[in-house]
Amino acid sequence: MKRRLALLVVLLALTGCGKKSDNAAPASATSGGPAAASKYDSGPRAAEEPIDEALVKQGEGLFQTKGCSACHGFGRRISCPDLLPVPMERTAQWMEQQILHPEIMTKEDPIAHQLFAQYSLQMPNQQLTQPEAKAVIEFIKHQSHEAHEGSK
């Protein structure tokens, strides 16, 4: 147990996360600058698309086994942004690119770059496949939808 905890601490120290801030404001609002435009973030927000319930359980498992829950929470910020508002603020395409290529997104995508500057943490590349990334996105959408339905 101590060995696993020590490994987790080392991994968290060496890697980071970076998706979305822990408040509902877009990344540009938190920086005080003009809105960042991303080639991956035009179109309907991920939350506007139906949830593929068949992928939610798989996405939940990946979220846990890949260590996403060590940095990200739902309804709370751990060491990285709260994921609850993300499906309402980003497209599924942007979320997929951020999951599959976080190191490239930080360098090339203005939104990811702003988040990196805000959190000073680089989200690690977990080497997910595109279908696995889609499953994680469906899980995030599901969590966000459940939280918002519960607050009504």
Per-residue pLDDT of the chain (152 residues; tens, 9 = 90+): 444 333 333 333 333 443 333 333 343 333 334 456 899 999 999 999 999 999 999 999 999 999 998 888 998 887 788 999 999 999 999 999 999 999 999 999 999 999 888 888 899 999 999 999 999 999 999 999 998 887 65
Burial class of residue 30 (count of CB atoms within 10 Å of its CB; 0-12, 13-18, 19+)? middle
- Distance CA(141)–CA(48), nearest Å, equals 9
Confirm if 59 and 74 have CB atoms less than 8 A apart: no
Q: Is residue 3 part of a domain?
A: no
Supply the DSSP string of 6-71, one letter for each residue.
HHHHHHHHH----S--SSSS-HHHHHTSSPP--TTS-SS-GGGSPP-HHHHHHHHHHHHHTTHHHH
CATH assignment of the domain containing 23:
1.10.760.10
Domain membership of residue 53 (yes or no) is yes
At 80 the pLDDT is 84
**Angle at the Cα of 54 from the Cα atoms of 44 and 147, rounded to 5 degrees:** 60
Q: Is 7 among the domain residues?
A: no
Q: How many domains does the chain have?
A: 1
Residue 127, domain member (yes or no): yes
pLDDT at 152: 59
The pLDDT value recorded for residue 119 is 85
- For 125, the 3-state DSSP assignment is coil
Range of the domain at 56: 16-150
Q: Indicate whether 44 belongs to any domain.
A: yes
